[in-house]
Amino acid sequence: MFTELKREAYEANVALPRHGLINLTFGNASAIDRAKGAFAIKPSGVDYAALSPADMVVVDLDGRRVEGRLNPSSDTPTHRRLFLAFPGVGGVVHTHSSHATAFAQAGRPIPIFGTTHADYFNGEVPVTRRMTPEEIASAYEWETGNVIVERFAALDPADFPGVLVNRHAPFTWGPSVGKAVETAVAVECIAHMALMSLRLAPDLEPIEAELLAKHFKRKHGAGAYYGQA
Amino acid sequence: MFTELKREAYEANVALPRHGLINLTFGNASAIDRAKGAFAIKPSGVDYAALSPADMVVVDLDGRRVEGRLNPSSDTPTHRRLFLAFPGVGGVVHTHSSHATAFAQAGRPIPIFGTTHADYFNGEVPVTRRMTPEEIASAYEWETGNVIVERFAALDPADFPGVLVNRHAPFTWGPSVGKAVETAVAVECIAHMALMSLRLAPDLEPIEAELLAKHFKRKHGAGAYYGQA
Amino acid sequence: MFTELKREAYEANVALPRHGLINLTFGNASAIDRAKGAFAIKPSGVDYAALSPADMVVVDLDGRRVEGRLNPSSDTPTHRRLFLAFPGVGGVVHTHSSHATAFAQAGRPIPIFGTTHADYFNGEVPVTRRMTPEEIASAYEWETGNVIVERFAALDPADFPGVLVNRHAPFTWGPSVGKAVETAVAVECIAHMALMSLRLAPDLEPIEAELLAKHFKRKHGAGAYYGQA
Amino acid sequence: MFTELKREAYEANVALPRHGLINLTFGNASAIDRAKGAFAIKPSGVDYAALSPADMVVVDLDGRRVEGRLNPSSDTPTHRRLFLAFPGVGGVVHTHSSHATAFAQAGRPIPIFGTTHADYFNGEVPVTRRMTPEEIASAYEWETGNVIVERFAALDPADFPGVLVNRHAPFTWGPSVGKAVETAVAVECIAHMALMSLRLAPDLEPIEAELLAKHFKRKHGAGAYYGQA
């Protein structure tokens, strides 16, 4: 039934270790079929090297497994929450990539210091508030999605295609799961560069508004002129 | 006699450089057969590329070589001490992985700053006290095991599956040597991320008790729900 | 028509990710045929893995596409500006390599701390001033070239074969595009080492004039004695 | 004539980039035949990928080329000076490996913070004084050897099998060139770890004398018990 969707989710999942974003089995990617209201996601705790497209688990937006024999990723409720809250999103990626996770652990957003960053985000990479003991004790992974959604109350997920979950790690998204993978690579890269720029200039201010707007709009929106489209 | 045990130890040893945990010939892994009271370990100073399963040396819990022509790793008495003290342990891994060793050299535990860490350890990665001149001058490698055991007087080795030996490097363990390898990878990864988080927030406090308990218990104990088991 | 020139530009472009200088699709290389007044450059936003020599786009010094079906890199006007201003330059390379970009983001030149650096640059790697809102709003990529040219008012581009664009990333050049790639590798390497030397000695002064002159002249000019030439 | 010596030097040279010690063409290795009073060394400025054993250049201890068509490495006089001063040395390696070079640029020795370091050096990795303008202006590469020899006036090159040349980069040596390569790997590794330990503990003192003696003597001298010998 979901052969193509599972292949797409599979390709995204195996791209993560290839890009150096994954340690051990930390991380997962999902792709949604909006018409059918279901998404394909990585099974829980399976080694990337052993993964095949048929292993992907398909879950509907009510959280019911509709295809696949394995347990879906334990982070599935977070993905589901994001698909419900962000209707324009076609894919979600979660990694524990090292430099981005260092910012998440410190509870700091990734400041926007250059054009590399501005090509992907319309400002800093936001960080959620810490979760409460109650949120952690109840439906933890669903509540993880909720603190992300709360952080985006006044942010457009198309302008900010990712977030750092405080004390945890990054999530990214995009119109397709392939684009969400690309953004996960970008988040790790800009986290690494921001860390070094901060070492060189501890009080470095964010880039100028004009430069941010120029670069973000080169790649996004009606006036985009980057690439072949 | 110990064909399967030696193969298991061999697989663990050659996994170490593949995971980037080994520089030169620093590091070794061992697997124990509790019924037979003997463990297989890497020979001393042999290049990983030249290793074969038949090269593994089998040593009993009194320290006698029971199979194999080569000298066992010079760290064999440390492994033996840990197998004797921690009856639930099926495998031990020792590396000089760079970031974890940096903490060991500085004599600092790896603080627990995020969920990546909490998935493996029920708190900080502990560090031993420094060894005395007497301990160093006598049975040095056996005494290395003793300072680890001393550090675990009030700690459960299942909750804390590894340690940093002060001025030296990490040891990890687990129910199987494969799991001990996985934990060695995790220790290196969380050391790297902790170092960067400390740079971003020098006074960063450890994660909240609820978040620690949640993540550790997602993967450990009766209520675990991570993976396919 | 430009088969050889396109092959040369292609080889330089695919060398960039092989040297670890490229994240995602950030970066491009171009090679000029001075006799024909045209240069070959990477197409915009195309994945390096999918690139072929025939994909290269040839643009003349007035900015007109003279060969190729794809859109040229969005950075083409910067390359064109440099080819016009620096007549001795045969190739230009742009990357977002991580350590060099960290200096560019911080708006700091790369200080010259050792002989590795002196083998390539006759002093620090310069950084441009920030661009004005007007420059950003108008012909941005052309103006990027202009701030580089302005920075070189009193510098010889043969003595300083590269620059950091403030808030952005490095550009390098050379008599051939192959040499510009080599300099891009060198810039990333010396940025990494300078960052670490600064950590060890925050007030470190640049190398002595005699040592700089010795190393730069070992490889450049009439008295060069490095290599086989 | 020197087929085996050239093969040995060749193997050492191509091992350097494989161990990640080389950027571009920085670095070279040489092996000496003491009976014949001549050593084989890498040709100058040749890409490692293009190297063959026959390309090695053989130079005698008076500095005359006795075999090979290519120019020897521009660093040949430094190697020659070391072979003359240190009669127990069978091979010399020079790299610009990043972390060790960061210490050299800063003019700081690599402090001895752990057992990894003590397995190779009987104390800190020493650094030379800066070279004078006169030394730089005259026979620069020969004088580079002289400042190393001067630094070893009161040090045994068997106890300290390497040095950092101030403002420049590391040189290592050993009874064979293969062992000198291994020490070059160790120097880069301990430089990296020392840098991180200093970040965690800026005032960290060197390891205890007993621990240093224990580890150095596990691998060196009459009481050595590491390995299979």
pLDDT, tens digit (0-9, with 9 covering 90-100), for A85-129:
999 999 999 999 999 999 999 999 999 999 999 999 999 999 999
Out of A113, A210, A227, the one facing C45 most closely (by C-beta) is A227
Q: Tell me which residues of chain A, numbers 172 to 191, contact chain C at a CB-CB cutoff of 8 Å.
A: 182, 185-186, 189
**End-to-end Cα distance, chain D:** 31
Interchain touch B–C (≥3 Cβ pairs closer than 8 Å): no
What pLDDT was estimated at residue C74? 94
Contact flag B193-A26 (C-beta cutoff 8 Å): no
Q: Is B193 in Cβ contact with A98 (below 8 Å)?
A: yes
The residue assigned the tokens 């995009």 is A174
In which residue are the tokens 């974003």 written? A21
A114, A186, A214 ranked by CB distance to C24: nearest: A186
Strand partners, B30: B41, B92
CA A204 remoteness from chain centre: 26
Percentage with pLDDT > 90 across chain B: 86
Residue of chain D nearest B44, judged by CA positions: D227
What is residue A127's three-state secondary structure?
strand
The alpha carbons of chain D give a radius of gyration, in whole angstroms, of 17
**Residue to test with chain B: of A99, A167, A192, A196, most B Cβ within 10 A:** A167
Rounded average pLDDT over B89-110: 98
pLDDT of res. B229: 63
Shortest CA distance to A206 belongs to which of A115, A116, A112, A103? A112
The chain-wide mean pLDDT, for chain A, equals 95
In this structure, the dihedral spanned by the alpha carbons of residues C110, C111, C112 and C117, taken in order and rounded to 10 degrees, is -10
Query: Using 50, 70 and 90 to split pLDDT, how confident is the model at C229?
Result: low
Q: Quick check: B102 and D200 CB within 8 A?
A: yes
All residues of chain C having their beta carbon less than 8 Å from the beta carbon of residue D44 are: 226-228
Does residue D139 contact residue D81 with C-beta atoms inside 8 Å?
Answer: no
Question: Which of D75, D119, D120, D203 is an active site residue?
Answer: D119
Nearest by Cα to D163 from D92, D227, D98: D92
This complex has an ipTM of 0.94
B107: closest CA of chain D, how far (Å):
9
- D31, amino acid identity: A
Task: Express as a percent the part of chain A with pLDDT over 90.
Answer: 87
Contact B89, B32 (CB under 8 A): yes
Residues in A touching B218 (Cβ below 8 Å): 74
Q: Which of B45, B130, B131 sits opposite D227 (nearest CB)?
A: B45
Q: Report pLDDT for A229.
A: 63
What is the overall mean pLDDT for chain D? 95
**Is A119 a catalytic site residue?**
yes
Length of chain A: 229
Q: In what order do the strands lie in the sheet with A57-60?
A: A65-67, A57-60, A38-41, A28-33, A91-94, A170-174, A162-164
Q: What is the pTM of this model?
A: 0.95
Determine the residue of chain D that is closest to C204 in CA distance.
D106
Within an 8 Å CB–CB cutoff, is residue B194 touching chain A? yes
Q: Using CB atoms, pick whichever of C105, C131, C198 lies closest to residue A193.
A: C105
Per-residue pLDDT for chain A (229 aa), expressed as one digit of tens each?
A: 899 999 999 999 999 999 989 877 789 999 999 999 999 999 998 888 889 999 999 999 999 999 999 999 999 999 999 999 999 999 999 999 999 999 999 999 999 999 999 999 999 999 999 999 999 999 999 999 999 999 999 999 999 999 999 999 999 999 999 999 999 999 999 999 999 999 999 999 999 999 999 999 888 887 787 777 6
In 3D space, the residue among C161, C166, C195, C167 whose CA is nearest the CA of residue C181 turns out to be: C161
